[in-house]
Amino acid sequence: MLNDAKIKAAKKTGKPYKLGDGEQLYLQVTAEGARHWRMNYTYGKNPKGKPAQKTLSFGSYPSITLLMARAKRDEAKALLRDGRDPSVERRVANRAQAAANGNTFETVARRWHTLKTPGWNAVHAADVIASLERDVFPEVGDLPITVLKAPKMLEVLQKVEARGAIETAHRIRQRVSAVFVYGIAAGLCDADPAASLGKALKEVPKAKKQPSIVDGARDQVGRLTAIRQLLIDCEAERCRAATKLALRLLALTAVRPGELAGARWAEFSGLDGPAPLWTIPAERMKGDKDRKSEEYGEHLVPLSRQAVDVLRVLRPLTGHLALCFPGERHVHRTISDATLNQLLRRAGYYQRHVPHGFRAAFSTYMNDRPKGERHEGDRAVIDLMLAHVPKDKVEGAYNRAGYMDRRRELAQEWADLLLDGFWPPEVHSDQPIRWAATGSGRP
């Protein structure tokens, strides 16, 4: 049997342990020293036909005293004697209370989401509500927001963490915390139990830099040789011509892979003239909703002769469609994010280079040219070409279309270096896209 002295003497040991009181009531002491009342009981049958083991939580000591915990245990046992499941009865009571006051966690969370959605882009808004629907609402969505405490919310987050999604668990904690903050402001609850739970979760692994083939090269010759060999190896693979053309255009323009995947024929202009241009709309660019809604927020990409050649060869393949690089099965959807990654993997560049790595290759090589090959201010111009958002957004909006002559020169210099002596892009037309099922097969 427990008494207050024994309970107060229970200290953290670095490992969780239990102190029994009697009749299935016990005190769960966590590794950090928190003390929670629990009661084990059996009710019904599990899928194997054996008595189902269940646990009730009565709250934490000292908020719930020993006498109070015993009273709750006795109430639960009375329900069991009547043939009722205490856990179900608790949920029924909670749901009834929630229906009366209309502030279940899910209800409040959806109000919060509706309030915040106008300030987010559509993709982020959809991701936020999807994460709550997947990982939070099934666990606590039907419970009143006022009854949710830190231990229960930690349990929800640890289930996400247990499947290896550590970063997702931290992200959901932030969203859950924001719901509670909204609830406090709206007078629906008094505290945010998720506020400090980040410290109880595993640390988020440090983000790995996206690999580029130039990372290990120490000089300019090595960098250029590496990126050229990568293109040679990838274009030697068997796949759809549009996929190889997409990879070449990505290497030439150094845009983000998502911007390339969503390219539309209507975005290109002047392809037959001296100043061909790719205008990527602001809503397709990286950034928050304010960035995407800027009146003159489009990204201007001057095209080299070689980039125009790629588009000229691509037009007979997809020019009758809106998208330049549609998916293989659904022409109204963009090429899959995995398509170019798979080509790089098949060519032997797994974990050595990803589609995003072409941006690093362009930036590293062009910024490290000898002084005689660089102009003053080229670094800022290259940042513009990469659509890096400047700290001064007003200056950034003013300069977005600036330095176009120099940007066009740099784009052409890069293309000349990258594809010097390369075969023209039309060699990829009418080439086999797969290895034969019989015969010698892949060399």
| Each residue's pLDDT expressed in tens, for the chain with a length of 443 residues | 899 899 999 988 889 999 999 889 999 999 988 999 999 999 988 888 888 899 999 999 999 999 999 999 999 999 999 999 999 898 888 776 666 567 899 999 999 999 999 988 787 899 999 999 999 999 999 998 989 999 999 999 999 999 989 999 999 999 999 999 999 999 888 999 999 999 999 988 776 678 899 887 889 999 999 999 999 999 999 889 999 999 999 999 999 999 999 999 999 999 999 999 999 998 888 765 555 555 557 899 999 999 999 999 999 999 999 999 998 888 888 888 889 999 999 999 988 899 999 998 999 999 998 888 888 889 999 999 998 865 555 444 445 667 899 999 999 999 999 999 999 999 998 777 666 555 565 55
Q: Is 398 an annotated catalytic residue?
A: yes
Q: Is 17 an annotated catalytic residue?
A: no
Q: Is 238 an annotated catalytic residue?
A: no
Domain with CATH 3.30.160.390 in the chain: 4-99
Which secondary structure element, helix H or strand E, spans residue 221, and what is its range? helix 220-235
> Annotated catalytic residue: which of 286, 305, 333, 379?
286
Tokens of 329: 């099965």
Domain with CATH 1.10.443 in the chain: 220-428
Strand partners, 104: 144
Tokens of 373: 């090959």
Strands (E) across 47-191 are located at 51-60
Q: Is 61 an annotated catalytic residue?
A: no
Q: Is 35 an annotated catalytic residue?
A: no
pLDDT at position 44 is: 86
pLDDT at position 46 is: 85
Distance CA 84, CA 86 (A): 6
> Annotated catalytic residue: which of 299, 356, 408, 428?
356
Domain with CATH 1.10.150.130 in the chain: 105-200
| Assigned CATH topology for domain 4-99 | Double Stranded RNA Binding Domain (3.30.160)
Distance CA 174, CA 199 (A): 12
| pTM over 0.85, yes/no | no
> Annotated catalytic residue: which of 256, 353, 406, 407?
256
CATH code linked to domain 105-200: 1.10.150.130
Distance CA 337, CA 343 (A): 11
pLDDT at position 371 is: 84
Q: Is 299 an annotated catalytic residue?
A: no
> Annotated catalytic residue: which of 36, 175, 359, 400?
359
Distance CA 431, CA 428 (A): 6
- The answer to whether the CB of 251 falls within 8 A of the CB of 418 is yes
Distance CA 78, CA 71 (A): 11
CATH code linked to domain 220-428: 1.10.443
Close Cβ partners of 11 (under 8 Å, ≥ 6 residues apart): 33
Give the 3-state secondary structure of residue 57: strand
Taking alpha carbons only, the member of 402, 405, 410 closest to residue 296 is: 402
Q: Tally the C-alpha atoms within 13 A of residue 138's C-alpha that lie toward its C-beta.
A: 8
